[in-house]
């Protein structure tokens, strides 16, 4: 079993180095070189905020489909402005097998207009099943921002910039259709999958006793080649029903925690819960990224790199964790507590998701998210998460690792996961994040 490596370091700057992130222009920099670094990040944050709303309102956007959408929107944002970021490399072109970033000859590009059109195009296609009202919202944001950009450049430049951004978005979308997750919002279950049976293996859980969801998600093509295989966790604790066994004690720990929950424990559970109609896990983590981007007054280049890396991390993490889930097919706490421990009416704080227990998806995705954001903002960056401030209050964290650790803990407090499953998943997520941090953006 892999062990946590606790690293104690004091970082005095927000960015790990100028090698990792584009540098912000100094105050008053009004150079005419038209580099992306002179554009504010609002075009990026406005589109990501709209994407979060689309996730809430569009059928089929569970955390897995959602994470995929953030990966492709973040990559699209980055690639649509890449040529205005000297020293940065295309991530998509080598994967697609063709140069998708070639600039039109003798044409000036307004980079925010390129990003605007690219984001509108990719979201229309990723959310093709969304309502007509939501599609109007996409068109409206694109139009409003275009009007703003036409006050900064000629209508021709804005139009040509939009065409350039759409071309890049189209290339990325066509490539996305081959990853195994295209139009996955249509159905979360499979008519061909037969869950294995036997002692200690996952069985449908109350109250819905639903079929297992996304059994083949782990077979999706990853953006980082072989990331799911290279970040696979070790096997879980061996199944046993003996009161002297490690497995029995592990499950009993979940039960003992459940009978002594505090009000703050419940708030933690609900703060990180995947509640339909609210922020799901990838959206919550993305909203943390947005809060940090806005607090640090990032410019467009910095925001694009952040959203691209973070979106890829979410996608890779969920493919990795679902690959492992359906390899090990471990029983959920509620099934063991009711059937083996004998507490037949015991229940979880929130519903148990319809897929195997090991490892914890919340913890894996949280580990990947925090590892990428640490690489950008520093390990000791403290912040306040206001995602659910109106519902459960704001939550403060002394560093970026702390929110991932709390998210992992939330699933133990909820009665959904065993502690070792969360601990190992955090390590798995960190390994995913480290792979993203090694990508050749620059």
Which two structure tokens, joined as six digits, stand for 4? 């946590």
Distance between CA atoms of 73 and 90, rounded to whole angstroms?
A: 15
Asked if 390 and 397 count as a contact pair (C-beta separation under 8 A), the reply is no
Map out the domains of the chain with their CATH numbers: 36-176 (1.20.144), 197-437 (1.10.606.20)
What pLDDT digit, counting tens, does each position of 211-243 carry?
999 999 999 999 999 999 999 999 999 999 999
Mean pLDDT, residues 261-281: 90
Over residues 377-392, the mean pLDDT reads: 94
Cβ–Cβ under 8 Å, residues 4 and 367: no
Q: What is the CA radius of gyration of the chain?
A: 22
End-to-end CA distance of the chain: 34
Least confident span in 20-34, 292-306, 376-390, 410-424: 20-34
pTM assigned to the model: 0.92
Tokens of 343: 């507490």
Closest CA relative to residue 127, chosen from 178, 73, 81, 87? 73
Q: Which of 50, 53, 45 is nearest to 277 (CA)?
A: 53
Q: Judge contact between 358 and 384, C-beta under 8 A.
A: no
Across the chain, which distance is largest between two alpha carbons, in Å?
76
383, β-bridge pairs:
397
How many Cβ atoms are within 10 Å of 250's Cβ, its own excluded? 18
Residue 23 CB neighbours (<10 A): 11
């Amino acid at each position: 079993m892999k062990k946590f490596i606790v690293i104690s370091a004091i970082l005095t700057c927000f960015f790990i180095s100028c090698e990792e992130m584009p540098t912000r222009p100094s105050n008053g920099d009004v150079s005419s070189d038209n580099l992306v670094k002179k554009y504010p990040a609002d075009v990026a944050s406005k589109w990501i905020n709209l994407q979060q709303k689309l996730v809430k309102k569009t059928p089929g956007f569970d955390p897995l489909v959602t994470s995929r959408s953030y990966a492709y929107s973040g990559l699209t944002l980055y690639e649509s402005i890449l040529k205005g970021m000297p020293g940065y490399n295309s991530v998509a072109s080598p994967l697609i097998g063709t140069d998708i970033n070639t600039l039109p000859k003798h044409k000036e590009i307004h980079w925010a207009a390129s990003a605007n059109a690219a984001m509108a195009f990719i979201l229309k296609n990723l959310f093709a099943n969304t309502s007509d009202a939501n599609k109007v919202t996409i068109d409206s944001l694109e139009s409003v921002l275009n009007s703003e950009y036409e006050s900064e450049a000629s209508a021709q430049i804005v139009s040509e910039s939009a065409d350039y951004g759409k071309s890049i978005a189209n290339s990325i979308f066509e490539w996305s259709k081959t990853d195994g997750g295209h139009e996955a919002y249509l159905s979360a279950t499979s008519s061909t999958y037969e869950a294995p049976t036997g002692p200690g293996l996952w069985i449908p859980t109350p109250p819905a006793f639903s079929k297992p969801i996304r059994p083949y998600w782990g077979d999706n093509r990853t953006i980082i080649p072989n990331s799911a295989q290279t970040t696979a966790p070790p096997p879980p604790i061996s199944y046993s029903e003996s009161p002297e066994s490690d497995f029995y004690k592990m499950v009993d720990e979940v039960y003992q925690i459940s009978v002594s929950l505090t009000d703050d424990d419940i708030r933690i559970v609900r703060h990180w819960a995947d509640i339909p109609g609210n922020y799901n896990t990838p959206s919550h983590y993305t909203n943390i990224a947005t809060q940090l981007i806005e607090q640090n007054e990032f410019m467009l280049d910095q925001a694009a790199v952040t959203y691209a890396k973070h979106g890829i991390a979410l996608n890779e993490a969920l493919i990795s964790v679902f690959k492992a889930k359906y390899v090990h097919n471990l029983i959920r706490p509620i099934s063991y507590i009711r059937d083996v421990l004998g507490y037949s009416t015991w229940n979880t704080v929130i519903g148990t998701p319809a897929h195997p227990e090991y490892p914890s998806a919340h913890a894996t995705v949280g580990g990947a998210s925090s590892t990428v954001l640490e690489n950008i903002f520093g390990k000791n960056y403290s912040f306040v998460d206001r995602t659910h401030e109106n519902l459960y209050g704001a939550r403060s964290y002394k560093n970026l690792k702390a929110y991932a650790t709390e998210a992992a803990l939330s699933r133990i407090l909820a009665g959904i996961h065993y502690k070792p499953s969360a601990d190992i998943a955090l390590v798995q997520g960190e390994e995913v994040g480290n792979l993203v941090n090694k990508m050749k953006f620059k």
